[in-house]
Amino acid sequence: MLDRDLASDLSPLPRLDLPGLLTALSPYLVLAAVVLLGVAVGHLLRTRRRLERTLAEAARAKAALAESEEQFRTLAEMAAAAIFVYRDGRFLMANPAMTAITGYSRDEILAMTQMDIVHPDHRVAVMNRALARQRGEDVPDRYEVKLLTKNGETRWVDMSAGSITFQGHPASIGTAFDITERKKDQERIHFMAQHDTLTGLPNRALFADRLEQALLLARRAATRVALLFLDLDDFKPVNDTFGHAEGDLLLKETARRMRQRLREADTVGRIGGDEFVILLAPVRSATDAAQVAEEIRREIERPFDLPGGRRQISCSVGVAVFPEHGDAAMDLSKHADMAMYRAKSLGRNRVEVYREGSPEDGGG
């Protein structure tokens, strides 16, 4: 009974008229489609405009970069300083001043690395500098370095370096001013401060420094050093009779003869008008030092053929040896000087080795 009542209450559902519903909704669907289409089109247009602006900005940036690089190249071509661009140690650009300093053509430079033109004496220092920069250490942007030119000459340059963007990629730029002549002037000034202007021999200050260094090494190695004091006999009459020009030539030739008789490790210096000093380091004994002194005496005794005629002089030589005749430079100098005056007092034109207790030493 209950089931029949429930069944009678469940009437059939009405049928959905889908075509009719679509017909009724079609205006709204069309409107929605139009709206969606408009949104999509608007989005596409905005995207297109943004893309066009981006492309336009990129084109302007590219044009500006090209113009900037062109201006840079123009300025570089006109610059008196060497200008070059490099990346990973290889050259990307070099201006005419760079080719003038190095002697290489532009094409040759572009096929080279930095180290190819750095002088061998400075390659390690330049490499260490580059590594320090890579480690982020504080490295000065400016430094002086020697270059080796195509024909083998040495050129000094004042170098500066920095970072740039070149052809759209990070790179380094360098500038170099040729300071070779300035360096030569500095070397000449330094040389003149330490050498006799007439003979080119070390002066008193440089000779004293070399003597101290030789004594320091001799103490460490337990070797001997000999100090010779040499004074020309009767040089003043040459100056007075034949003039200072003739005397200067004689002094220069005397210096040449002494250098010729000595080893490369030995030093001869001029400390006065006709006074010379000789450092023999090392030397085996006082006898060997006296033998060298005798060879020099005989060499100076030979006639000098000068423009004004043949001249003949002699010399007196005193010898003192470390450590027998003194442990300090002052003692050796004093004793070599005393031995030289003993040679003069015994008739000149001879060699005397310092002897403790001699009259010059205050002995009997």
C-alpha triplet 204, 206, 210: angle, nearest 5°: 115
CA dihedral defined by 21, 22, 24, 30, rounded to 10 degrees? 150
Residue range 204-229, pLDDT digits in tens? 999 999 999 999 999 999 999 999 99
To the question of pTM greater than 0.75 for the whole model, the response is: no
User: Tokens at residue 66, please?
Assistant: 């090209």
Q: What is the spatial distance between Cα 63 and Cα 189, in angstroms, rounded to a whole number? A: 53
| Tens of pLDDT, residues 279-330 | 999 999 999 999 999 999 999 999 999 888 899 999 999 999 999 999 999 9
SS3 7: helix
Residue numbers of the chain with a pLDDT score lower than 50: 2, 364
Q: Residue with structure tokens 């008008």?
A: 273
As beta bridge partners, residue 154 has 148
CA 9/CA 13 separation, integer angstroms: 12
Are the CB atoms for 102 and 109 separated by under 8 Å? yes
Phi, psi of 90, deg, nearest 5: -110, 140
pLDDT of residue 29: 63
- Please give the Cα distance from 2 to 269 (Å, whole number): 143
Q: What is the predicted pLDDT for the residue at 364?
A: 44
Straight-line distance from the first to the last Cα atom of the chain, in angstroms, rounded to the nearest whole number = 168
Q: Which one-letter amino acid corresponds to residue 64?
A: A
Q: Strand 154-166 vs strand 169-178: parallel, antiparallel, or unpaired?
A: antiparallel
How far lies 153's CA from each of 148, 159, 190, 201, 353, in Å? 6, 18, 22, 26, 47
Residue 208, both tokens: 């004293």
